[in-house]
Amino acid sequence: MDRKLIEKLKKHEVSFHEIDKMLDSGAAIELRRAAISDVAGIQFKHIDKFSFDVENVTKRNIENMIGAVQVPLGVAGPLRVNGEYANGDYYIPLATTEGALVASADRGCSAITACGGANARLFKDGMTRAPVFRTNDIIGAKKLVDWVHANFPRIKEKADKTSRFGRLLAIEPFVAGRNVYLRFAYDTSDAMGMNMVTIATDAAVDLVLSENDVELIALSGNMCTDKKPAAINVIMGRGKTVSADVFLSREIILGKLKTTPEKMAEVNYRKNLLGSARAGSLGFNAHAANIAAALFIACGQDAAHVVEASYAITTMELVEDGLYCSVTLPSLPVGTVGGGTGIGAQQECLCMLGVAGAGEPPGTNAKKLAEITSVAILAGEISLVAALSARHLAKAHATLGR
């Protein structure tokens, strides 16, 4: 190992990214790790152990790499999904450090499957990017909005040329004084698509600027809205808008969930609906983000999009001899190509679900993943609401994970 180069790294005479030009990926990783080990005064025993292809990962997924962090991976299921794209029994990979989470999801999967499975349907699919422009005044703002409406086919042609799979679906303008936000929405096929829509929108912006007396302030004006709580995503959707539902029989609720339909309905009403409303929450659910985060990490999704997954709305209604349960996810950005989906372990998890890579026809694998995710989240909602109604939550955490 080059001790002179390590000393230069420690003294900031050479930056962490510069050594990637001097050494191969493996040697650069080892050298950075050695420098951090010296500076922090710690001997690394775990982060140097990984099995993925460092050449691909350092080109696509990470900068200044020094190793990898392992997250325990569990499985819940089988979970029966009756969707348009996902149809069958699935084992759900969940990567988490929270004890009791996988066990809870597994119980929810068991209840759903015992009742014949949950339906899942996709209602909307569109990844967004919203640049903000400054005009001279509101007269200029109105002119820009009118121009966009009149020239949509030309804008679409410009944007669509940047990708084999991305297709511009719509542009929704929003005005605040002389600021104009254009919310572009795209079909991104099997990709989650944030990079795709950013590149496409950047190309479209060139056309807007060439024919209008306006100034681009930022390619993202926060009306997209990614990775932040935003009512616009709840109302208009972003990524996949998907719902799942199931009828749970009284017998299954008593036998598997150890509670009653009446108690579950009341917990959902007073906790997920009234409690969330009183708190001013954008999501009306028990813990949708828990299942989404674990599944995202396992399957190579952008974990920050758990923010949008947390907008889920959970409903539970008493019906004859049981309980109707549903979850609606207005904003679920998922994909099966790009991002972290090609990393070894994450791709294996996608293979478990039968959604790795591009679908045939294009887009079907990402839609299938969205349907499976919605039903997995429904399973988590059912199990936690049942545990709360039976006062089993504290006991489960005391037993399975403090």
- Please give the positions annotated as active site: 98, 302, 397
Under a CB-based contact definition with an 8 Å cutoff, are residues 370 and 376 in contact?
no
Q: Which two tokens stand for residue 125?
A: 């699919």
**DSSP per position, 187-222:** E-TTB--HHHHHHHHHHHHHHHHHHSS-EEEES--S
